């Protein structure tokens, strides 16, 4: 009798223990099962199920084992054999300016200058734009999408906008303006190209033709209407929504001002920030760096919003990258140096002294000479090796320069710019240089951490287009460029996940899927490691989770 009572008592105690809140809380909030989960983790390469508790992954493994962890309140999703990858990370994007660009004149569908002019004329007509008001386009169009393969001239723009100043940026490094815009900016036949820029002039008359490169754009940019705080906040929210639809869970901004940083803080404080941001801070000059250093620290922020390195732009882009050799299209032109060597060195030294990392836009091989000479000198005073200073873009580099990059322990973020601009590269730099632009295989072969990104709005945001080019080395127009630099699909995926997290010092919390890491992941329509190369660019995202929260789910077709 006593024995029986003891058994009953133990059973009752077990029921009480199992039903206690502490034990019930151990059941996962969400389980995804019956899937193909690519973890990219060294300990567990693949799994079929993942359990999520709060913002983190609690368990990965076989479906039958993970499903046993479910409690009465656990939400269970059948993946139906779909592929799951770590949340994608874009290591170079211009978030607020890109979001603002989504509401400006859209030129991406124009295939000729005539169509481009029609779009501008239609914008002015349909929106009843009054005389004197600026007409500004988004920057996500490409010169080589136009059959003429050139910028429209000021005179062509005058035909459709004689009473409105027009500014058509192409990325951040070159633009086209009409005569009224040039007049307002004080740019005339007598104007000389500024340091770090070029006023392109008609070879016959010497008049500015409307095309401005890098710093030559500043007189126009200063006149553009200022965006309100509300517009910037809405832009950030638009980009967040777009990124989620592409499986992107973290963004690294290519360079923000203190004002843009404050906008990001505002969204976070409101509780509406649902994407993780690391923001490189861009000083205008040495004095501006002092203000930044007083307002922020290298450790400001948390897993949602944090400061990244100090950002400096050293040279131009597809129309201004700084080379030791002349451009194929301009025998007397070598590109532009946007920031002087003296300023680069002073900011780099100050950053190093104050424990900031550095991130420098560097495209041409001459720019690499300047950057590496500068950082090697900085390193002699206080080591930067292993501190993850970063080269942005790194498109055109010589073999001996790669060895110097490795010796300093630098990281490289790279984008598939040739996918949309390969033909421009061939025209401007020559076929041989274009073939070896973005030398991804050479970087990885040298043991350099190489992270992927978009440089949106300069390039498309879709990470699968960037992975596709890394594997196929084929432009949007179908031209093959540098097939000897092609990566495997696994390497391309790693650039946008595991290596991307390394760039922001967050490899212990994201970039791979493992127990204890943030539950940031994307569910895909196809396995990028197994489908045909040509299909990689067509992969669709079905679901995106950030910190265990479903932030995007594709509607059923």
pLDDT at 43 over 50: yes
Are residues 465 and 418 in contact, defined by beta-carbon separation less than 8 angstroms?
Answer: no
Instruction: Find residue 248's DSSP bridge partners.
Output: 88
* CA-closest candidate to residue 252, choices 408, 95, 98: 95
β-bridge partners, 137: 105
Asked whether the predicted pLDDT for residue 16 surpasses 70, the reply is no
**Whether the Cβ atoms of residue 472 and residue 486 lie closer than 8 Å to each other:** yes
Give strand pairing partners of 85: 522
Q: Which of 531, 539, 439 is nearest to 481 (CA)?
A: 439
Radius of gyration, alpha carbons of the chain: 26
Sequence-ordered strand ranges (E) for 401-524 = 411-415, 450-453, 521-524
Indicate the domain borders of the chain: 2-81, 97-221
pLDDT at 9 over 70: no
pLDDT value of residue 404: 98
pLDDT at 187 over 80: yes
**How far apart, in whole angstroms, are the C-alpha atoms of residue 211 and residue 215?**
12
The answer to whether 375 and 312 are in contact (CB under 8 A) is no
The rounded distance, in Å, linking the Cα atoms of 281 and 253 is: 8
DSSP-derived 3-state class of residue 410: coil
pLDDT tens-digit series, residues 309-318: 999 999 999 9
Output the CA torsion sign for 337, 430, 460, 41.
negative
> How far apart, in whole angstroms, are the C-alpha atoms of residue 300 and residue 306?
6
User: What's the average model confidence in pLDDT over 440-454?
Assistant: 98
The mean per-residue pLDDT over the stretch 77-89 comes to 98
Report yes or no: 493 and 451 within 8 Å, Cβ to Cβ. Answer: no
Nearest to 28 by CA among 64, 56, 6: 56
Residues 455/393, Cβ–Cβ less than 8 Å: yes
Q: SS3 for 241?
A: helix
pLDDT tens column, 191-249 = 999 999 999 999 999 999 999 999 999 999 999 999 999 999 999 999 999 999 999 99
Q: Are 437 and 486 in contact (CB under 8 A)?
A: no
Whether residue 221 contacts residue 181, with contact meaning beta carbons closer than 8 Å, is answered with no
Separation in Å, CA 538 to CA 194, 365, 489, 535: 43, 34, 14, 5
Gap between the terminal Cα atoms of the chain: 65
Burial class (CB in 10 A: 0-12, 13-18, 19+), 533: middle
Compute the distance between CA of residue 184 and CA of residue 133 in angstroms, rounded to an integer: 12
* Cα gap 140→465, rounded to integer Å: 15
Instruction: Indicate the length of the chain as a whole number.
Output: 557
List 375's β-bridge partners, or say none.
none
Question: Is the confidence at residue 102, as pLDDT, over 90?
Answer: yes
Per-residue pLDDT averaged across 85-102, rounded? Answer: 97
How many whole angstroms separate alpha carbon 161 and alpha carbon 125? Answer: 10
Q: DSSP characters for 348-384?
A: HHHHHHTT--EEEEE-SHHHHHHHHHHHHHHHHHS--
- Confidence bin at 557 (pLDDT 50/70/90): low
Q: Considering the domain 2-81, what is its CATH architecture? A: Roll (2.30)
**Residue 501 confidence (pLDDT) above 90:** yes
- pLDDT at site 312: 98
Contact by Cβ (8 Å): 221, 182: no
The answer, yes or no, to whether residue 19 has pLDDT greater than 50, is: no
Backbone angles phi, psi at 286, to 5 degrees: -65, -40
13: burial class by Cβ within 10 Å (0-12, 13-18, 19+)?
Answer: exposed
Could you give the CA distance from residue 426 to residue 453 in angstroms, rounded to a whole number?
22
**pLDDT at residue 2, as a whole number:** 45
Q: Which fold has domain 97-221?
A: Diaminopimelate Epimerase; Chain A, domain 1 (3.10.310)
Q: From the CB of residue 190, how many other CB atoms can be counted at a distance below 10 Å?
A: 7
2 phi-psi bin (left φ>0, alpha ψ -120 to 50, beta other): alpha
Task: Look at residues 148, 209, 203, 147 and name the one whose alpha carbon lies nearest to residue 176.
Answer: 209
Which of the 8 DSSP states describes residue 310?
E
Q: Are 168 and 447 in contact (CB under 8 A)?
A: no
Please state, in angstroms and as integers, the Cα–Cα distance from residue 248 to each residue in 72, 196, 244, 527, following that order: 31, 34, 5, 16
The model scores a pTM over 0.85 = yes
The 3-state DSSP class for residue 111 equals: coil
Could you say which DSSP state residue 438 is in?
S
Whether 22 shows a pLDDT value over 80: the answer reads no
Residue 17 has pLDDT above 60, yes or no: no
Tell me how many degrees the CA angle 442-499-263 measures, rounded to the nearest 5.
Answer: 120
The answer, yes or no, to whether residue 7 has pLDDT greater than 80, is: no
Please state, in angstroms and rounded to a whole number, the distance separating the CA atoms of residues 475 and 18. 59
Sign of CA dihedral 477, 478, 479, 484: positive
Rounded CA-CA distance 180/193 in Å is 19
What is the signed CA dihedral for 107, 113, 118, 119, rounded to 10 degrees? 10
């Amino acid at each position: 009798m006593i024995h029986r009572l003891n058994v009953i008592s133990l059973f009752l105690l077990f029921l009480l223990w199992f039903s206690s809140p502490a034990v019930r809380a151990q059941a996962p909030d969400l389980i995804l099962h019956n899937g193909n989960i690519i973890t990219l983790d060294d300990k567990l390469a693949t799994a079929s199920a993942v359990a999520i508790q709060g913002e983190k992954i609690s368990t990965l493994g076989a479906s039958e084992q993970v499903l046993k962890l479910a409690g009465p309140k656990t939400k269970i999703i059948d993946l139906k054999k779909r592929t799951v990858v770590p949340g994608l990370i874009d290591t170079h994007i211009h978030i607020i300016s890109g979001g603002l660009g989504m509401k400006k004149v859209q030129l991406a569908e124009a295939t000729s200058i005539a169509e481009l002019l029609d779009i501008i004329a239609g914008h002015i007509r349909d929106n009843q734009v009054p005389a004197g008001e600026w007409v500004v386009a988004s920057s996500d169009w490409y010169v080589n999408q136009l059959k003429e393969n050139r910028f429209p001239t000021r005179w062509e723009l005058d035909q459709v906008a004689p009473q409105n100043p027009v500014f058509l940026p192409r990325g951040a490094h070159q633009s086209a303006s009409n005569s009224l815009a040039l007049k307002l900016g004080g740019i005339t036949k007598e104007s000389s190209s500024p340091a770090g820029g070029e006023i392109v002039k008609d070879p016959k008359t010497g008049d500015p033709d409307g095309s401005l490169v890098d710093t030559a754009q500043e007189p126009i940019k200063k006149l553009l209407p200022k965006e309100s705080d509300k517009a910037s906040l809405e832009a950030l929210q638009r980009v967040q929504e777009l990124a989620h639809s592409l499986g992107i869970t973290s963004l690294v901004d290519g360079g923000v001002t203190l004002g843009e940083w404050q906008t990001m803080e505002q969204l976070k404080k409101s509780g509406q920030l649902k994407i993780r941001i690391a923001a490189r801070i861009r000083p205008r000059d040495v004095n501006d760096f002092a203000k930044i250093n007083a307002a922020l620290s290298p450790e400001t922020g948390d897993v949602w919003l944090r400061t990244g390195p100090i950002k400096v732009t050293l040279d131009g882009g597809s129309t201004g990258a700084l080379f030791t050799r002349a451009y194929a299209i301009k025998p007397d032109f070598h590109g532009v140096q946007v920031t002087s060597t003296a300023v680069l060195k002073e900011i780099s030294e100050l950053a190093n002294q104050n424990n900031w990392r550095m991130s420098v836009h560097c495209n041409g091989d001459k720019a690499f000479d300047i950057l590496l000479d500068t950082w090697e000198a900085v390193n002699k005073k206080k080591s930067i090796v292993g501190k993850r200073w970063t080269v942005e873009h790194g498109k055109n580099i010589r073999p001996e320069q790669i060895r110097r990059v490795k010796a300093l322990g630098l990281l490289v973020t790279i984008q598939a710019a040739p996918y949309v601009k390969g033909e421009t590269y061939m025209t401007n730099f020559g076929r041989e240089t274009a073939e070896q632009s973005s030398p991804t295989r050479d970087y990885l072969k040298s043991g350099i951490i190489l992270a992927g990104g978009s440089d949106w709005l300069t390039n498309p945001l879709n990470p699968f287009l960037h992975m596709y080019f890394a594997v196929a080395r084929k432009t949007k127009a179908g031209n093959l460029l540098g097939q000897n630099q092609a990566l495997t699909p696994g390497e391309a995926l790693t650039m946008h996940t595991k290596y991307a997290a390394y760039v922001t010092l967050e490899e212990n919390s994201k970039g791979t899927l493992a127990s204890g890491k943030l539950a940031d992941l994307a569910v895909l329509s196809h396995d990028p490691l197994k489908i045909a190369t040509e299909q990689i660019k067509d992969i669709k995202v079905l679901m995106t989770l950030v910190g265990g929260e479903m932030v995007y789910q594709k509607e059923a077709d």
